[in-house]
């Protein structure tokens, strides 16, 4: 799974950043119950554990609610994932990782200390096919000059701009922007390639930098912030000095 598991999952949950501890007996108890629910194919019980909306790999839409999860259960919980869960040992294969929660193996699944499923970092063949189909549709819905991307990353909107970030492959990210009144099928006002991704700590915050001459365009995504923090911020620098900063909403990601 590529690009935007880059963030909510790879940065927030990637075990390479974390120190895992043995699972406490009380946590082993509800993990054992969850394993039994998966063995029995109890979709309703598992659905009650999901924290909604439940993010899937973009551009696959998030799971909205319990009914949506039950409908998509087989798409998410394929044979491979079910086997990983049902053959796991709560005392050996599950571990506690501080405030981030409890992980299966090296991060295949994350459950919080209240027993809610907060992330599944496994993608079934069915989801992969759906993802590729949605990417193909997106390529037809943007200006033809931008249709050569490998994977979409995000679409942002500020009060003045619509911004699209795409992964062109090989850690090469592209920035394209329009006036907020324009559609993405129109020719973009600005396109910058060779953007870079930068993680800001281990809490999940991150940004993409795009340079053009003495200008730098930074799209900062706030995963862990203050209560009133915006989802994202666009900042434009000229010769190292910030000349514009606008809060941004994440339209899709």
pTM, 2 dp: 0.84
**Section 47-71 average pLDDT:** 95
Distance CA 77, CA 79 (A): 7
Angle between helices 66-76 and 125-140 (to 10 degrees): 110
Distance CA 209, CA 220 (A): 9
**Section 167-171 average pLDDT:** 95
Distance CA 34, CA 30 (A): 6
Torsion (CA) 154, 118, 129, 166 in degrees, nearest 10: 10
Torsion (CA) 15, 53, 112, 94 in degrees, nearest 10: -50
Residue 15 has pLDDT above 80, yes or no: no
Distance CA 195, CA 165 (A): 9
Give the per-residue pLDDT at 18.
55
Distance CA 72, CA 63 (A): 8
Cα-Cα-Cα-Cα dihedral sign, residues 154, 155, 159, 161: positive
Convert 9-25 to b/e letters by CB count within 10 Å (16 or more is b): bbbbbbeeebebeebee
pLDDT tier at 227 (50, 70, 90 boundaries)? confident
Report helix, strand or coil for 85: helix
125, with CB counted inside 10 A (0-12, 13-18, 19+), is exposed
Report helix, strand or coil for 145: helix
Residue pair 186/178 in contact by the 8 Å Cβ criterion: yes
pLDDT tier at 13 (50, 70, 90 boundaries)? very low
pLDDT tier at 232 (50, 70, 90 boundaries)? very high
Q: Of 74-88, 154-168, 189-203, which gets the smallest average pLDDT?
A: 189-203
pLDDT tier at 204 (50, 70, 90 boundaries)? confident
Q: Average pLDDT, whole number, for the chain?
A: 92
**Section 91-95 average pLDDT:** 95
Element (H, E) at 30: helix 25-39
**Section 160-167 average pLDDT:** 98
Angle (CA) 82-84-86 rounded to 5° is 65
Pick from 70, 109, 71: nearest CA to 88: 109
- A 10 A CB-CB count for 111 gives 22
**Section 5-16 average pLDDT:** 44
Angle (CA) 205-97-202 rounded to 5° is 20
């Amino acid at each position: 799974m590529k690009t935007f598991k880059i963030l909510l999952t790879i940065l927030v949950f990637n075990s390479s950043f974390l120190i895992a501890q043995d699972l406490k007996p009380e946590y082993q108890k509800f993990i054992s119950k969850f394993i039994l629910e998966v063995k029995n194919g109890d979709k309703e019980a598992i659905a009650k554990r999901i924290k909604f909306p439940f993010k899937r790999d973009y551009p696959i839409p998030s799971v909205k609610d319990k009914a949506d999860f039950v409908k998509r259960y087989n798409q998410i919980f394929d044979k491979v994932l079910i086997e990983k869960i049902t053959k796991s040992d709560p005392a050996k294969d599950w571990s506690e990782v501080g405030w981030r929660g409890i992980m299966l193996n090296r991060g295949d699944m994350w459950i919080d200390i209240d027993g809610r499923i907060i992330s599944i970092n496994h993608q079934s063949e069915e989801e992969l096919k759906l993802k590729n189909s949605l990417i193909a549709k997106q390529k037809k819905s943007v200006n033809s000059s931008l249709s050569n991307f490998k994977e979409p990353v995000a679409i942002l909107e500020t009060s003045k701009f619509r911004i699209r970030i795409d992964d062109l492959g090989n850690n090469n990210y592209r920035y394209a922007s329009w006036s907020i009144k324009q559609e993405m099928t129109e020719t973009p006002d600005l396109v910058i390639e060779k953007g870079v991704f930068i993680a800001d700590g281990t809490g999940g915050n991150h940004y993409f930098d795009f340079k053009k001459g003495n200008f730098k365009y930074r799209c900062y995504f706030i995963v862990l912030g203050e209560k009133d923090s915006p989802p994202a911020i666009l900042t434009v620098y000229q010769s190292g000095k910030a000349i514009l900063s606008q809060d941004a909403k994440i339209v899709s990601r």
